[in-house]
Each structure stands twice: as C-alpha cells, then as structure tokens.
Amino acid sequence: SQTIHQWPATLVQPVGSPLSLECTVEGTSNPNLYWYRQAAGRGLQLLFYSVGIGQISSEVPQNLSASRPQDRQFILSSKKLLLSDSGFYLCAWSVRRQGYGYTFGSGTRLTVV
Amino acid sequence: DAKTTQPPSMDCAEGRAANLPCNHSTISGNEYVYWYRQIHSQGPQYIIHGLKNNETNEMASLIITEDRKSSTLILPHATLRDTAVYYCAPRNSGNTPLVFGKGTRLSVIA
C-alpha cells in the first residue's frame, strides 16, 4: 500500500534561518507531488507541484523553493525564513490520472519567531 | 480568481443530513469536482469526486446539477466526528493540481 511521510511534525525557527522540509512517498512510482501551505485560519494555498524528477512548477512567488531529487522525494526549502512563512505545510501525492484523489501527509507546523 | 464558492460556515444537528453546496459556474466540460475535508490540524481527507453523474460511497453522496455549475455534498447522518472544513475543487486532468477555495466549516451539534 502507498504511504506518505512528512517530517518534522513541528518546527520553530528564527527569522533569517534556512528551512528544509522533506516528503517521501512509498509504494508507488511516478507520482505527482504537491506542497501546500495553510496560514492560521486560512485555506489551503498551493505552493509547488511536480510531475517528474527535476520538474517543478511554482504557483506563488515567494522566498520558498522546491526540489525533487528523486522520484518519490519532494523537498521544500528556504534560504532565509520570514515571519510570514509561519503556517501548516502539507505535502500530497496523486497518480497521474483523472478520477483519483490526493493523499496528504500529516503536515509540518512551522512557527517562525 | 476563485473557481468555487462555498458558504463559510454551516451547522447541522447530529444524526441529521448535512447538505454542503458548492458553486463552480465556470467549470469546463472535462473537469471533475472533488470534495475533501480537513479536521483541525490534520491533512485533508479525500471524500468523493464526480464528473456529471451523481455518486455515492461509504462516506457521502455527491449530487451534481445537470448544467454542472454546482454540486452538493451530502453526509446522510452527520456525527460529531464530521465537524471539519469541507472543500470542493474542480480539476481537469491528472496532472493539473487541485486549487482549493476557502471551504465550508461544518459544525455538527449534539
């Protein structure tokens, strides 16, 4: 069966520090991968998605970046965090066919102080 | 540029049916409508999806209007555990990402 792992669950980082959040999927190959962010009390905002290794599409310009070094690994990074980067970060995967839903990870709650 | 419109909040008595509407008037012919829910501090959970026919699974029913401009998610017997934010989102291909709106916060009341 397919599983998605996302870590860490919580993170407190100072302003200006770097960030690296990792997401891995098991039990499938060639998944589509996604990073979403949810600010406090807000909806889900799509940040990045990837349909293959090295292929990243960015939806929102910001100081975050994403990389997909391996088929089932998706990394969200920042060189210098801002206070506004605080939020709940969610990774998700899906198959590349219409008619199938997403599976989300358990999320990382990031607090920038 | 919102693709969907949902009421911000709804209440439902425990044991009664919860009917959650979604307006997607700009949906195109090949876009499915997906529904997810998010319980506080958890990742969203897939519920159901449909193209033009009504759909039912163990969690819910989905009613799509004939013109496909709106849909309604029905939880037939709401429980306290159904309290969550419910999102509808259209999607036109397997490689197109889901874009979520603000959703409806459903509160099931004992």
| Token pair in block for residue B56 | 């039912």
Q: How confident is the model at residue A98 (pLDDT cuts 50, 70, 90)?
A: low
Is residue A33 pLDDT above 90, yes or no? yes
Residue B1: per-residue pLDDT: 45
Tens of pLDDT along chain B (110 residues) come to: 458 999 999 999 999 999 999 999 988 888 899 999 999 888 899 999 999 989 999 999 999 999 999 999 999 999 999 999 999 998 877 678 888 888 999 999 99
Strand order in the sheet with B9-13: B9-13, B104-109, B84-91, B32-38, B45-50
Of B44, B49, B102, the CB nearest to A99: B49
A-B contacts at Cβ under 8 angstroms? 63
Residue A52: per-residue pLDDT: 92
Of A49, A95, A107, the CB nearest to B97: A49
Q: A31 to chain B, minimum CA–CA distance in Å? A: 10
Residue B26: per-residue pLDDT: 87
Is residue A96 pLDDT above 80, yes or no? no
Mutate to test the interface with B, among A89, A91, A94, A102 (most CBs of B within 10 A): A102
Q: A50 to chain B, minimum CA–CA distance in Å? A: 9
Is residue A17 pLDDT above 70, yes or no? yes
Cα–Cα dist B18/B84, whole Å:
12
Q: What is the pLDDT of residues A35-74, one digit of tens each?
A: 999 988 788 899 999 999 999 998 886 789 999 999 999 9
B34 touches chain A (CB under 8 A): yes
Q: State how far Cα A79 lies from the chain centre.
A: 16
On average, the pLDDT of chain A sits at: 91
Contacts of A101 in chain B (CB under 8 A): 34, 36, 46, 49
Residue B88: per-residue pLDDT: 94
Residue A92: per-residue pLDDT: 95
User: Burial level of A36, CB count in 10 A (0-12/13-18/19+)?
Assistant: buried
Is residue A101 pLDDT above 90, yes or no? no
Which of A14-23, A104-113, B92-101 comes out lowest in average pLDDT? B92-101
